[in-house]
Structure 1
Amino acid sequence: MRSIPFSLLAAISLALPIGAQEVTPFADPSRLISIGGSITEIIYELGKDDLLVARDSTATYPDQALQLPDVGYMRALAPEGVLSVEPSAIIALEGSGPIDAIEVLENASVPIVFVPEIFTQDGVITKVRTVGEALNAENEAEALIGRIQADFDAVQDRISKIEQPKSVLFVLSMVGGRVNAAGTGTAADGIIALAGARNAITEYEGYRQLSEEAIITANPDLVLVMDRGGDHAASEDELLSHPAIALTNAGQTGSVIRMDGSYLLGFGPRAAAAALDLADAIYGAPEPAQ
C-alpha cells in the first residue's frame, strides 16, 4: 500500500472535506505501530490491539497500552527507534513528525496512514472510520461510531438545557507567572465548545502567553487546567493568586477545574464522556429525573 507523502498531507487535508480521504487497507498490519493516544484508544476499542507492537508516549489509555514498547513522543519521533520494532505498518495522527523522520520511514517502505485531527464530534467519527478502513475493520468501526454517536446525543441533550454559556480560560502551563493559554483551533477550544461553554480567548489560534491585561479583559468565569505532574502544572493556589486571574470572575469565585489531560483533550472514543464531565463541572450535575 502506498502511503501519503508527509509533505503533501497538509495540502490534502485542507483540500478535502472531513471524511473524504480515501484509505487503502494495510496489506499487512500484523506488526502495527500507533502514533497518537486517541489512535491507540480506537484500536483497542475496535478489538485490534493484538496487532500492536508499539505505541508513542501519548498513548496512556487503556492501561494495557503501557505494556507496549514506547517509540517516543509523536512530534519528536526518531526513525531508528520506530524501525527497531520492525513495523509492518504505521497509523499516525496528523501532525506526527518531525517531517524528516516521517520521510525516513516512508523511504524505508513502511506503509503509513495519517489520521485527521479535528476537534469536533465529526472529527472523532472521522478518526474512527479512518482507523477502521486502514485495518479492514469497517464493521467494527461503524459499531463503535454508533456508540459514540449515542454518547454525543447525551451531551447535546445535557447542554441544550444551558441558558447562559460560561466563559472558560484553559491554562496549558504557568511558569514564572506567565500564563500560556489556549486560543481557537485547539483541543481545549473544541472540548469547551462541546461542553456548552465558550473559550475566553478568541483573539488568536493555538497556544500563547497572555499578558495580564489580556487575562483581565477576557474575564473568564472559570479556569480549566490539565491534571498532570511536572513543573508546568500550576496548583489551584498558584492560579488563583495570579495578579490578573485574581481580578477575574474565576478568581473572585475560586473557580478552577482540573481534569486528566489525555481524557480531556484526546478527542478519541471518550470525547463525549469528557465533554459531559466537563459540562457537569462547569454547570453542576443536573437534578436526577423524578
Structure 2
Amino acid sequence: MTRRFLPLLLVLLTLAGCATRPQEHDSSAPPDTEAVFPVTIGSLTIQRQPTRIVSLSPSATETLFAVGAGKQVVAVDSTSDYPAQAPHTKLAALSPDPEAIAAYHPDLVVVSADTNGLSSALAKIGAQTLVMPDAKTLDDAYREFADLGTATGHRAEGESLSRQVRADVDGIIASTPKPAKPLSYYYELDQTYYSATSATFLGQILQRFGLTNIADGTDPSASGGYPQLSPERILQSDPDLVFLADSKCCGQNAQSVAARPGWNTLSAVQHGRVFTLDDDIASRWSPRIVELVRAVSTAVSQAATR
C-alpha cells in the first residue's frame, strides 16, 4: 500500500528486537497430516484443499505463509512484498483483472473485497473467491489467521498462530511501563497530514496503550476514521508522541519533522519522541502486527522513563 494510492485506499477502507515474523513462526501444533474438507468460511464452502492459491491481499499473503500454506500459493499481487519468497507478480489488488488472474489457473483466490463482481467472474473458470475483509479489531485479525489456516488445510497451524500472536500482543502491552500521566499522539499517514483515529484497526491498537489520539475530535468515525488534519490543529494539540508511517515511502523522520515550519516547538520534537514505523507493517493486519505493537511499546516506554 504505497502512499500514492492513499486517497483511493481511504475510500476502500472507510478504510525491532526479536520480532515475530511469519516464516519464523514456531507453532506448538503439529501440521495437519490429513486436512478435512469440505470446510465453510463465512458463506463460502471449499470442497477440496486448494493447491493453486492466488492472493490479492498483502495481509493475507503474509498470513498464508505464516500458517504453512506458502507452497500452495502460485501468485500474489504487486503490493504483496513479504515474505521474500512469495511469488510476486504484476496482479493488481485494487482493480483485479479476472483474465490476468485466470492465467495462473487458481482454485482459490484470496481478496480483501469482492471488487466489481470478481467472485462471479472467477467462478466461470472454476475458481472460488475467499474474502478476508479489512480487520476492524485485533480479534478480527486473529479470526482471519485461523480462517486462512482452515481454508487451506492448515487448521492447527492457523489456530496456533492466532493464539501465539494474541499472547505476544497481550504480553507486550502488559509489560509496557505506564506513563505517570496520559500521553497524546499524532499518527501520520502521509505528508498531507492524513491520520488514523481510534475507530480504526490501527487506532484501537494504540488505544490499548492508554494513549490519546489528537485526530479523534468529536467523532472518531468521521471521514471513515481517516481524517486529514491541518498543521495548525497538530501544532495546537501539541502531541506528546509523533508516529510516522510515511518513513519508507516518503523519507520522513525526526529531522524532517523538526524542519517543518513551527514544528520544532512541539513537545514530541523537543523531547525526542518522534518515532518512525515500517509503513507496510503499520498498514496490514498480518502476524507482523507483533512488530508494530513492539515498536509502539518502545516509544511509550521511552516516554514513560524520560
Cα distance, 1:169–1:49 mapped onto 2, change above 3 Å: same
Corresponding residue number in structure 1 for 2:132: 115
Is 2:172 the partner of 1:155? yes
Which residue matches 1:5?
Answer: none
Partner in structure 2 of residue 251 of structure 1: 269
Which segments of 5 or more consecutive residues in structure 2 lack a partner in the other structure? 1-11, 13-40
Letter in 2 for 1:105: L
- Residue of structure 2 in register with 1:14 after alignment: none
Looking at structure 2, the residues matched to 239 and 162 of structure 1 have their Cα atoms a distance apart, in angstroms, of 24
**Following superposition, which runs of at least 4 residues in structure 1 exceed 6 angstroms of deviation?**
none
| Residue identity opposite 1:213 in structure 2 | E
Deviation at 1:187, TM superposition (A): 4.0
Match of 1:85 in 2: 104
1:197-216 to 2 correspondences below 5 Å? 197-203=211-217, 204=222, 205-216=224-235
> What is the aligned residue count?
261
Give a deviation string over 1:11-53, Cα, whole Å, max 9, x none: xxxxxxxxx9355335251110112222112111211111000
Q: Is the 2:63–2:287 contact (alpha carbons within 8 Å) kept by the matching residues of 1? A: yes
What's 2:300 paired with? 282
Q: Quote the residue 1:29 is aligned against.
A: 50
Residues 184 and 161 from structure 1, CA distance in 2 versus in 1: closer, same or farther, beyond 3 angstroms? closer
For 1:167-193, what per-residue CA distance to the aligned partner results, in whole angstroms no more than 9, with x for missing partners? 22111111xxx3222234334313322
Per-residue deviation, 1:79 = 2.5
Gap change, CA 1:58 and 1:162, over 3 Å in 2: farther
1:133 and 2:142 aligned: no
Counterpart pick for 1:170 among 187, 192, 200: 187
Is 1:43 the equivalent of 2:57?
no
Q: Is the 1:119–1:191 contact (alpha carbons within 8 Å) kept by the matching residues of 2? A: no
Aligned to 1:74: 93
Give a deviation string over 1:121-154, Cα, whole Å, max 9, x none. 2122111122122113222212222222321231
Counterpart amino acid of 2:268? A
- Equivalent residues in 2 for 1:167-246, closer than 5 Å: 167-174=184-191, 178-203=192-217, 204=222, 205-226=224-245, 228-230=247-249, 232-243=250-261, 245-246=263-264
* SS at 1:223 equivalent: strand
**Pair 1:104 & 2:121 matched:** yes
Residue number in structure 2 paired with 1:124: 141
Instruction: Return closer, same or farther for 1:213/1:141 CA change in 2, 3 Å cut-off.
Output: same
Distance 1:101 1:22 in 2: 16
The structural deviation recorded for 1:217 is 3.4
8 Å contact kept, 1:168–1:199 = yes
Offset of 1:55 from its aligned partner? 0.9
What per-residue deviation string (whole Å, max 9, x for no partner) do you get for residues 211-241 of structure 1?
A: 23321333211211126544x4434333223
Counterpart CA distance in 2 for 1:26 and 1:285 is: 52
Distance 1:165 1:275, change over 3 A: farther
Please give the alpha-carbon distance, in whole angstroms, between the structure 2 residues aligned to 1:162 and 1:26. Answer: 52
Secondary structure (helix, strand or coil) at the match of 2:111 reads strand
Q: Distance in 2 between matches of 1:196 and 1:58?
A: 32
From the superposition, tell whether residues 215 and 33 of structure 1 become closer, same or farther in structure 2 (CA, over 3 Å).
Answer: same
Q: What TM-score, normalized by structure 2, do the two folds share?
A: 0.74
TM-score normalised to the size of structure 1? Answer: 0.77
Q: Percent identity?
A: 24
Q: Identify if the C-alpha distance between structure 1 residues 196 and 261 changes in structure 2 by more than 3 Å, giving closer, same or farther.
A: farther
CA shift at 1:162, angstroms? Answer: 4.5
Distance 2:67 2:55 in 1: 13
How far off its partner does 1:261 sit? 1.7
If asked which structure has higher relative contact order (CA below 8 Å, sep 6+), I would say 2
The match for 1:261 is 279
Structure having the larger proportion of residues in strand: 1
The residue type paired with residue 248 of structure 1 is L
Q: CA RMSD in A?
A: 2.9
Q: How big is the shift at 1:245?
A: 3.6
